[in-house]
Amino acid sequence: MNYSARDDPESMNSNPDKRDLSGQEAAALLAWYVSSGADEAVGEVPVNRFELPSQSARAASVAPVVPAAFGARQTPPLASTQPAALPDHTIDALATARELAGAATTLEELRAAIESFEGCGLKSTAHSTVFCDGNPTARVMLVGEAPGKDEDRLGRPFVGPAGQLLDRMFAAIDLKRTDEDPAKSIYIANILPWRPPGNRDPSAEEIALCLPFLLRHIELQKPQIIVALGGVSSKQLLGTSTGIMKTRGRWADISIGERTIPVLPMFHPAYLLRQSAQKRYAWADLQSLRARIEAL
Ligand code: URA
C-alpha cells in the first residue's frame, strides 16, 4: 500500500535522544515502540527452521487457505499476496478461525467468536476488537481494511478523519450509518478486526486468518451490495491482484455461500483525504452506487 489507509502515525517528542527523558517521556517512547510492533521480532511459537519442509511442499499445504465461499469465477483472494509458505501454527489457527466463524449463526455470535479467537497476533497489540458499525439490516455493506488509532481506541470502524469523510460521501447519496431504514443505511466492517501495530500493512498471514470471519460476516449480514474500500479490501473480495486504480468503479459479482453479490470497488477515503483531485472519481462511483440501489 503506498498510502496510509488508516490514520496518521502517532506524534513523538522531537529528538528525544538529545536530552534526558522524563519518566513520562520514556514511558511514551516505550509505548510507541510497542505500538510500532518492535516487540514482535520474536514470535510466541518457536520455529525449528531445520525441520521446515521444502517450499513446494509447504505451498501445497497452503491450498486450504482459499475461502471455500469464493465461487469458481474467483481467483483465490490471497493468490497475489500470500507467501509460498505458512507455518504449521498458522494453518492450525486458520482451521480454528474457520470452525469458529462457521459455528456462528448470528452477528452477535460472530462478534463473540472473533473476540474469543487467539490465533492472530494482531489481537495482542490491539486495544479493541473492531467488529462493525451501522445498521445490521442495511442493504449496503462497506468493507474497509483495518482499524486505525481512533478506531482501536473507540472500538468502531471509520471514526477518525477518514470515517468523517466517508460519512459525508455516503450522506451525499442519502445513506447513513444511523438510519433505521435498510434502504437508507450502511453497515461497515473491515477485512481485519484488529489494528496492525503502528498502522503497518497487514501481512498476508494476518489477512488469511481474518478472512473466514469476514466471509461469515457477509453471509450473516446478507448485504445486497458490497462496497470495497481501497486496494486491500478490493483485492481480497474480488480475488485479484489488480490494484484499485484499475478496479475502482467497475462492478463485479462475487459468490459467498449461496449468494451472488455485486461489489463496487472504490477509493479509500484516507486516500481521498490526501488526493482530493481523485474525489471526482469517488463521486462518479457514488452515483453508480445510487443507481444500482434504485434498481434493487
Ligand atoms: N480505515 C479502514 O480501512 N478501516 C477503518 O475502520 C478505519 C480506517
How far from chain centre, in Å, is Cα 212?
12
Q: In this predicted structure, what is the pLDDT of residue 87?
A: 84
Ligand 1 centroid to 146 CA: how many Å?
A: 5
Strand pairing category for 140-144 and 225-229: parallel
Q: Is 267 within 8 Å of 283 (Cβ atoms)?
A: no
Query: In ligand 1, which atom is closest to the CA atom of 159?
Result: 7
Ligand 1 centroid to 57 CA: how many Å?
A: 36
Q: Which residues line ligand 1 (CB under 6 A)?
A: 5-6, 144-148, 151, 157-158, 162-163, 190, 270
- Averaged pLDDT for residues 261-274: 98
**157 — pLDDT class (breaks 50, 70, 90):** very high
pLDDT digit string (tens) for 216-241?
999 999 999 999 999 999 999 999 99
Query: Cell triple for residue 125?
Result: 497489540
- Averaged pLDDT for residues 260-264: 98
Ligand 1 centroid to 151 CA: how many Å?
A: 7
- DSSP per-residue letters across 61-122: HTGGGS-TTS-TTSPPTTTTT--S---HHHHHHHHHHHHHHHH--SHHHHHHHHHH----TH
Among 4, 166, 167, 190, the mutation site with the greatest number of ligand 1 atoms within 8 A of its Cβ is: 190
For all residues of the chain together, what is the average pLDDT?
A: 82
- Averaged pLDDT for residues 248-274: 97
Ligand 1 centroid to 233 CA: how many Å?
A: 10
**50 — pLDDT class (breaks 50, 70, 90):** low
Query: In ligand 1, which atom is closest to the CA atom of 229?
Result: 3
Q: In this predicted structure, what is the pLDDT of residue 78?
A: 38
- The CA-based angle 19-24-25, given to 5 degrees, is 40
Query: In ligand 1, which atom is closest to the CA atom of 130?
Result: 6
Least confident of 12-26, 153-167, 250-264: 12-26
Query: In ligand 1, which atom is closest to the CA atom of 156?
Result: 6
Q: What percent of the chain clears pLDDT 70, i.e. is strictly above it?
A: 72
Query: In ligand 1, which atom is closest to the CA atom of 188?
Result: 6
Say if pTM beats, i.e. exceeds, 0.95: no
Q: In this predicted structure, what is the pLDDT of residue 40?
A: 47
Q: In this predicted structure, what is the pLDDT of residue 236?
A: 97
**204 vs 14, higher pLDDT:** 204
Ligand 1 centroid to 157 CA: how many Å?
A: 6
Closest to 211 in 3D by CA, of 64, 15, 112, 87: 64
Domains and CATH numbers, the chain: 2-62 (no CATH), 88-294 (3.40.470.10)
| Cα 98 from Cα 76, distance rounded (Å) | 16
pLDDT digit string (tens) for 70-114?
332 333 443 333 445 678 889 999 999 999 999 999 999 999 999
Query: In ligand 1, which atom is closest to the CA atom of 162?
Result: 8
**284 vs 39, higher pLDDT:** 284
pLDDT digit string (tens) for 57-68?
333 333 333 333
CA-closest residue to ligand 1 atom 7? 158
Q: In this predicted structure, what is the pLDDT of residue 9?
A: 32
- DSSP per-residue letters across 159-183: -SHHHHHHHHHHHTTT-BSS-SSGG
Q: In this predicted structure, what is the pLDDT of residue 20?
A: 66
**255 — pLDDT class (breaks 50, 70, 90):** very high
Q: 227: part of which helix (H) or strand (E)?
A: strand 225-229
Q: Is 185 within 8 Å of 175 (Cβ atoms)?
A: yes
CA-closest residue to ligand 1 atom 8? 6
